[in-house]
Amino acid sequence: MKAKYLMIATVATLLAACSNDENEVNNGPVEARVTAGMGVETRAVNDATSSFAANDAIGVIVTKVEQKEEVGAATSGMVERYKNVKYTTAQGGITATFAAGTGAGIFFQDATETVTFAAYYPYQTTTNAGTLPGTDGSGIIAVDTKDNNKVTADENKQAKIDFLFASGATASKSSPKVEFKDNSSTLGGTNCQFQHKMAQLKLVIVGSTQDGFTEEEAKAVCAGTSTYKLGGLKHTGTFTLAVADGTATGTAKVSDDAQAVADWTITGCARTDDVDNYKRTYTLILLPQDCSSSALTFGAEIGGQNYSNKTSITPNLQAGKTYTFTIMVKKKGLEVSGCTIKEWENGGTGSGNAEM
């Protein structure tokens, strides 16, 4: 009988220990789990335009902490502690799961708090997670698009300037999954997906066999000896992260003192070639700027001949929009047509001609 009571006491002790351990876990910090989604054609730098790539890193920011009304003011200090926390995705995808390094993530402190988050891409290094990126924690990141549109076999520099921003996602200790997704279809919901903060310009250059070129001459559009230039763009500016009254913003803009570059060689910039259809497409990531009243100048040297257009490429480059101009190279000149603006967002059309 004594042994039976001893066994019961031992089991009770073990159960109490398990219960205490469980309570300790529940009462301790809980790490945030981050997932992020993108809208249609969000990315410029990946083959899958609406996907994150493996090893993409984002910076996650706590923008607001709200306490239950009956409890009082929030006391966890998460806003001050988590201003730039690095989260990385191992596999990427349309909806990607991100993780921080061991012990380096965001931890919920108080079960009665609801926390609001923002995030940006690409991640910028800071001395600690409690400091916004940029000089002296200002949140202001310098941007230069002139050299960072280049792509080589070893590096795609566009990833450095394809700034994305998301905000409004909420989570808590009891529901620690931070989801940057589109909630706008639900009552009172908002779109928390990553959105472009830069503009995109596509130049589709086509050799025309209907206007004097032989097939071989038209294929020279994609030849290594052909060169292309674009003038009139401003390349220096900033991407600024800011948090005011619990609301986060991410804004890209041209610097006030930026000067337009008259002769930007784009030959080595991000492009795709379709030799069989005599077509080369340049995809450029640019700072938002209005070029509608002062046309960009396009110049090409193809097969030893020079071609130019100085009147027809007039986009108002807005954040989140892509502008496509089709440039038909003819024996006697160029024809620029089919200016389209799409998602990133939808827009209008335009056309024009240029001679040699």
CB 245 within 8 A of CB 213: no
Task: Say if residue 48's pLDDT is above 60.
Answer: no
> For residues 38 and 235, which has the higher predicted lDDT (pLDDT)?
235
Per-residue pLDDT of 319-347, as tens digits, reads 999 999 999 998 877 778 766 666 655 33
In the chain, alpha helices (H): 2-27, 78-81, 215-219
Res 345: pLDDT? 55
For residue 18, what pLDDT band results from cuts at 50, 70 and 90?
very low
Beta bridge partners of 208: none
Res 24: pLDDT? 37
Per-residue pLDDT of 126-140, as tens digits, reads 999 999 999 999 999
pTM for the full predicted model: 0.85
Length of the chain counted residue by residue: 356
Per-residue pLDDT of 128-176, as tens digits, reads 999 999 999 999 999 999 999 998 878 889 999 999 999 999 999 999 9
Res 318: pLDDT? 96
Res 23: pLDDT? 36
Measured CA to CA, the distance from residue 62 to residue 103 in angstroms comes to 17
Measured CA to CA, the distance from residue 294 to residue 52 in angstroms comes to 35
Cα dist from 135 to 125, 145, 240, whole Å: 11, 19, 11
Per-residue pLDDT of 58-72, as tens digits, reads 999 999 999 887 777
Res 63: pLDDT? 97
Sort strands 199-207 and 260-261 into parallel, antiparallel or unpaired.
unpaired
Res 26: pLDDT? 53
Q: How many other C-beta atoms can be found within 10 angstroms of the C-beta atom of residue 210?
A: 9
Per-residue pLDDT of 233-283, as tens digits, reads 999 999 999 999 999 999 999 999 999 999 999 999 999 999 999 999 999
Res 86: pLDDT? 97
Mean of the per-residue pLDDT values for the chain?
A: 85
Task: Say if residue 6's pLDDT is above 60.
Answer: no
Res 228: pLDDT? 98
- Residue 136's SS3 state is helix
For residue 8, what pLDDT band results from cuts at 50, 70 and 90?
very low
188-194 LR contacts (CB < 8 Å, sep 24+): 191/39, 192/166, 192/167, 192/168, 193/36, 193/37, 193/38, 193/39, 193/42, 193/166, 194/36, 194/37, 194/38, 194/39, 194/42, 194/119, 194/121, 194/164, 194/165, 194/166
The structure tokens 């190279």 sit at 329
